[in-house]
Amino acid sequence: MAREFIVEADGGSRGNPGPAGYGAVVIDAATGETLAEAAEYLGVVTNNVAEYRGLLAGLRAAHALDPDAAVHVRMDSKLVVEQMSGRWKIKHPDMKPLATVASRVFPPDRVTYEWIPRAENKHADRLANEAMDAGKRGEQWSASTSTAELDTRASAPPAERGPERPRVTGDAVAGAAAARAALAAPRKGRGAGTSAAPPRGHDQPPLTGTVTTTDGTTADTRAARTVATPGWSSAPDLGAPATFVLLRHGETPLTPQKRFSGSGGTDPALSEVGLDQARRVGEALARRGTIEAILASPLTRTRQTAAAVADRLGLDVTIDEGLKETDFGAWEGLTFGEVRERHPDDLTTWLADPQAHPTGGGESFAETATRIAATRDRLVAAYAGRTVLLVTHVTPIKTFVQLALGAPLQSLFRMELSAASLSAVAYYADGNASVRLFNDTSHLRP
């Protein structure tokens, strides 16, 4: 008999858009026991995007526990519940790809949705607020310091937090019977509490955020299985991964001088060296013969690099705004030494805090990471099982790698990425990611 889970999820944004985070909890529908928690600080996004990210995290955590389970989702977001049940249309471009990916975590006939009042979603709400508080401190949420479940139990009616149910959360026990009834009810398609998109197996993008179970040693085992061993799974139907081949553009006149060159500067073109590098990459990729589509950042240097490769491979180039470089504000065109001389305090803060912005505005690394994560989710859904060339820049490529490894944002400062280098990340249908290549420049050698 299939296991039955309740997923409670929430997301919040302090400003809408503003600093945001999500929380999600997986509960045993039979006992009300908390099985897993997930939370993550997202940077600056809207409240609705944060709610969808919470839903995704909850579904992925449930899938990691048992990919064959039946799931009843309870959320206090009427929008998400109605859209995922197929009763409301999804019009916002930021939410369409998230809803599509959420619908593919489990087969649609195994997921039902229910709206609940905010007062009945306290556990997930507290996790989301913990994540936002951690982000304000420049940290990510940590399960080891979370008190969300204890706080929720403390606020629950005495009958729900007695010693006979040591890990009951909120009113999960009170709702478990209703959830089991919903899970057992026959599915009647959209409008009957099922998910919104047609079945596509278990396709889903990589797991983000932090997932933990509440049972000590088991938590370590599950975390190792779902996070620390990317690319491996016992599921028999993973199929081919979505593989992103990440190509940094060729040299520009600013590259050898190591000047900041983001999306807010002069938008330099490739130098003669850069044009030759682009041709060499095209030849190398033609020999490999695996690229099925090409996407590029809208900046001149990436468009030129992509055009040279596309000409050799006989493919078209699709421009994607999500792949553009970070905006470095007033630092555009300056060397690191010049920035240190002119803006020492701003540079020190920027190096220590992923939330900090370059002088004069621009984009923080945390904001870039949020943008790249959304781009990744959208493209993984669009190119499942295919190998795609993404022609982009230093910070986006490092961020794709950082997210795949689950490393902190500070790891971006510990990666070296050469002009016209190739890296690759594979995204599997069970939610794992595997870094297959990094900073390969062998094609540039004589």
- Token duo for residue 182: 């919903």
pLDDT of residue 196: 34
- Residues known to be catalytic: 249, 325
Ranking 77-86, 105-114, 287-296, 426-435 by mean pLDDT, the lowest is: 426-435
Q: What is the pLDDT of residue 238?
A: 62
Q: What is the dihedral of CA 89, 92, 98, 103, to 10 degrees?
A: 10
183 falls in which pLDDT band (50, 70, 90)? low
How far is 60 from 10, CA to CA, in rounded Å? 14
**How far is 38 from 191, CA to CA, in rounded Å?**
28
Beta strands in 163-313 (DSSP E): 210-212, 242-248, 293-296
Instruction: Give the residue with greater pLDDT, 430 vs 144.
Output: 144
Extract the runs of DSSP E, i.e. beta strands, from 249-397: 293-296, 317-319, 387-392
Q: Residue 161 pLDDT more than 60?
A: no
**Amino acid 117: pLDDT:** 93
Q: Which of 6, 199, 20, 195 is nearest to 94 (CA)?
A: 20
Tens digits of residue pLDDT in 186-208: 444 333 333 333 333 333 333 33
Q: Which two tokens stand for residue 446?
A: 């004589």
Pick 142 or 443 by higher pLDDT: 443
Interatomic CA distance for residues 64 and 210, integer angstroms: 12
Q: Predicted confidence band at 178 (pLDDT cuts at 50, 70, 90)?
A: low
Task: Quote the CA–CA distance of 274 and 271 in Å, as a whole number.
Answer: 5
Least confident piece of the model among 182-186, 296-300, 397-401? 182-186
Q: What is the pLDDT of residues 7-20, one digit of tens each?
A: 999 999 998 788 89
C-alpha–C-alpha distance, residues 254 and 250, integer Å: 11
Sign of the Cα torsion 306, 258, 425, 284 reads positive
What is the pLDDT, as a whole number, of residue 268? Answer: 95
Pairwise CA distance, residues 241 & 235, whole Å: 13
Whether the per-residue pLDDT at 230 is higher than 60: the answer is no
Q: Which residue has the higher pLDDT, 83 or 203?
A: 83
User: Above pLDDT 70, what percent of the chain?
Assistant: 81
Of 270 and 350, which is predicted with more confidence? 270
Statement: residue 365 has pLDDT above 80: yes
Contact (CB, 8 A) for 30 and 166: no
Residue for token pair 């540079």: 347
107-121, 185-199, 207-221, range with greatest mean pLDDT: 107-121
Q: What is the pLDDT of residue 174?
A: 46
Taking the C-alpha atoms of residue 50 and residue 44, their distance in angstroms, rounded to an integer, is 10
pTM for this prediction: 0.53
Pairing mode, strands 70-75 and 4-13: parallel
pLDDT tens-digit profile of 117-130?
999 999 999 999 99
